[in-house]
Structure 1
Amino acid sequence: MTVPAVTRMGSWVLDRRGQGRGVRITRHPELHAINLSIWRDSVCAGTVHLTPADAAEVVQAITVQLAELARPAPPVRSTDRVDELEARIAELEQQALPRRGVWRRVLDTLVDVSAAQPFGRSTPTPPGPTGPLSVVC
């Protein structure tokens, strides 16, 4: 990007990604305002007019964000992810325990139904060679 000439009332900050991107900061004493304009190549893509108080808030916000970037990141243990996954698995296993009771009741009902007498039969059906139907959970 070729930076357009800026009067004594303005400054440019170019985007490090290139592609003609940049921010122009221009002072407008007649409006008692600062104008921030976003540029792509030689085309203005948008502007924001800021009062001195608004501009001070923008500067403060940028300062806070820079301070956050300056803080060192906490060290990352290689086992953090494994610990997190193991904790999640244990939580899911605990959630599954009450469901086991539901399945047990369903299976017990199926066993009871399979042992019931068919309609019109007066004598019980003898158990098969391995005994009555049973399910182990």
Structure 2
Amino acid sequence: MPAVRPLPELGSIYLDARGAERALRVSWHHESGLVVLSLWRENVCAGSFRLAIDEVPALIELLRAGLVRAYDDARERLDDRDAATA
């Protein structure tokens, strides 16, 4: 099994909500024009996905739109709760 390489200069690790033994590792590889998303379970890479840098804006837009919707939904729930108690 290949050794785990350290993250490049620009990268991060996100822990899974199900537990710290699962993680998403994101690393930029400017030299190859890729962002690599890899799924980790403990210290073993379970899978990876290579995303071309020119596709990153669409991914960011999807995440942004989902976040806006989540905030809107939370705000509506708070407004409904406040209206019910008024």
TM-score (norm 1): 0.47
How far is the alpha carbon of 1:19 from its aligned partner? 4.2
1:29 partner amino acid: H
* Greater relative CO (CA pairs within 8 A, separation 6+): 2
Q: SS of the counterpart of 1:68?
A: helix
How far is the alpha carbon of 1:11 from its aligned partner? 1.3
> What is the alpha-carbon distance in structure 2 between the residues aligned to residue 24 and residue 50 of structure 1?
13
Q: Which residue of 1 aligns with 2:41?
A: 40
How far is the alpha carbon of 1:47 from its aligned partner? 1.1
CA RMSD of aligned residues (A): 2.2
How far is the alpha carbon of 1:5 from its aligned partner? 4.4
> What is the alpha-carbon distance in structure 1 between the residues aligned to residue 76 and residue 18 of structure 2?
24
Q: What count of residue pairs does the alignment treat as equivalent?
A: 74
Between stretches 66-75 and 54-63, larger displacement belongs to: 66-75
- In structure 2, the CA distance between the partners of 1:7 and 1:33, relative to structure 1 (3 Å rule), is closer
2:46 partner amino acid: A
Q: Which residue of 1 aligns with 2:76?
A: 73
> What is the alpha-carbon distance in structure 1 between the residues aligned to residue 19 and residue 58 of structure 2?
27
Which stretches in structure 2 are left out of the alignment for 5+ residues?
Answer: 82-86
After TM superposition, the runs of 4+ consecutive aligned structure 1 residues lying more than 3 A away are: none
Q: In percent, how many aligned pairs have the same letter?
A: 27
Q: Which residue of 2 aligns with 1:127?
A: none
Larger strand proportion of the pair: 2
2:76 partner amino acid: A
Residue 27 (1) aligns with residue 28 (2): yes
Q: SS of the counterpart of 2:35?
A: strand
Which one has a bigger Cα radius of gyration? 1
